[in-house]
Amino acid sequence: MNSSRTRTVLALAAVAMAALVFTATSASAAVVPVTGITGNHGGDEYGTGMGALINGSGMDTTADPSDPSKWVVAYNNYPDEWMANPLVGALNSKIAWASFDLGTSTALADLYLWNVRYSSGGDGTATYNLYYADSPTVALPAQPNKGSWSNTGLTPQGDYDFVNGGGWTLFNTTGVLTVPKKGDSVVDLSGVTARYVALEILTNQGSTYNGGRVGLLEVAVTTPEPATMALLGLGGLALLRRRRRA
């Protein structure tokens, strides 16, 4: 192959790969169903329990149920949210925790966190640690009963040690949801493959009611669309085939 032709092929390859990358980063992601949830629930006595975190309550998802980037907060009702009274003397200085089981090890895209809207917003999450795992060596406790209630945060689930629990990786150090009532966040989990995603809530937005409460309105996890991954693979094959023919 002469140098001119080589330059042409390389230029075409660069353009094609740029287009593929743009398409991949622009494509929407799909919601990963949460098959199990647990934590130190105990801040409310409504029937939804911790399920309120993942059932879409409080949100308007009609724009596109499969794309959390298009969801908007629609309600500020207390039953739509998850609350927990802070754990006392918990490990790693956490005041509450929640873990989400995705059912199987999954390539992840984003984690969406919507803060509580109830009352003045003081119950909202301020800072947190984020962990992920495939097979924790210390089993997580079962999901709390929907009607559980605790003024101390000491539900039967109690505390859980993510630091020494075995198999957990700390994704960040003290993520921040900074604005009361609107402290929402999208965490880029690109490159992470995991079955479990967990949050250690470290501080709230200043609530002191009944010793303080903390929680979130809704949580969603997404994975890259299969079509995006297939497009990248087909693009690579096309470039390789073109080069072989040349």
Residue 242 exposure: Cα atoms within 13 Å on the Cβ side:
15
pLDDT in tens, 210-243: 778 899 999 999 999 875 444 444 444 444 444 4
Is residue 228 within a helix (H) or strand (E), and if so which, with residue range?
helix 226-245
* Residue ranges of domains in the chain: 1-27+225-246, 29-224
Q: How confident is the model at residue 4 (pLDDT cuts 50, 70, 90)?
A: low
Q: How confident is the model at residue 41 (pLDDT cuts 50, 70, 90)?
A: confident
Task: Tell me what pLDDT residue 166 has.
Answer: 82
> 77: which 2 tokens?
């009702």
Average pLDDT over every residue of 195-206: 94
Instruction: Determine the residue type at 90.
Output: A
Q: What is the DSSP string of 5-50?
A: HHHHHHHHHHHHHHHHHHHHHHS-EEEPPP-EEEE---S--STTGG
Q: 12-16, 97-101, 110-114, 222-226: which has the minimum mean pLDDT? A: 12-16
pLDDT in tens, 57-75: 899 999 999 999 999 999 8
Taking the model in full, what pTM does it have? 0.80
Instruction: Determine the residue type at 151.
Output: N
Task: Tell me what pLDDT residue 23 has.
Answer: 39
The more confident residue out of 117 and 110 is 110
Beta strands 59-60 and 72-73, pairing class: antiparallel
Q: Are 218 and 59 in contact (CB under 8 A)?
A: yes
> 201: which 2 tokens?
């809530």
Q: Which residues have a Cβ under 8 Å from the Cβ of 184 and sit 6 or more positions away?
A: 112, 113, 114, 115, 177
Average pLDDT over every residue of 18-45: 69
C-alpha distances (whole Å) from 91 to each of 39, 50, 87, 103, 200 are 14, 21, 9, 26, 10
Q: Indicate if the pLDDT at residue 107 is higher than 90.
A: yes
The neighbour count for residue 74, using CB atoms within 10 Å, is 15
Q: How confident is the model at residue 44 (pLDDT cuts 50, 70, 90)?
A: low
Question: What is the pLDDT of the chain when averaged over all its residues?
Answer: 80
Q: Among residues 39, 52, 43, which one has the least CA distance to residue 148? A: 43
Q: Under CATH, which number does the domain 29-224 receive? A: 2.60.120.260
Q: Are 88 and 155 in contact (CB under 8 A)?
A: no
Average pLDDT over every residue of 38-56: 82
Give the three-class secondary structure for 191. Answer: coil
The neighbour count for residue 239, using CB atoms within 10 Å, is 17
Q: 7-11, 70-74, 159-163, 189-193: which has the minimum mean pLDDT? A: 7-11
Average pLDDT over every residue of 193-212: 90
Burial class (CB in 10 A: 0-12, 13-18, 19+), 14: exposed
Task: Tell me what pLDDT residue 228 has.
Answer: 46
Give the dihedral sign, CA 132/166/104/200.
negative
DSSP single-letter state for residue 68: G
Q: Indicate if the pLDDT at residue 12 is higher than 70.
A: no
% residues pLDDT > 90 (the chain): 45
First-residue to last-residue Cα distance in the chain: 7
Task: Tell me what pLDDT residue 144 has.
Answer: 85
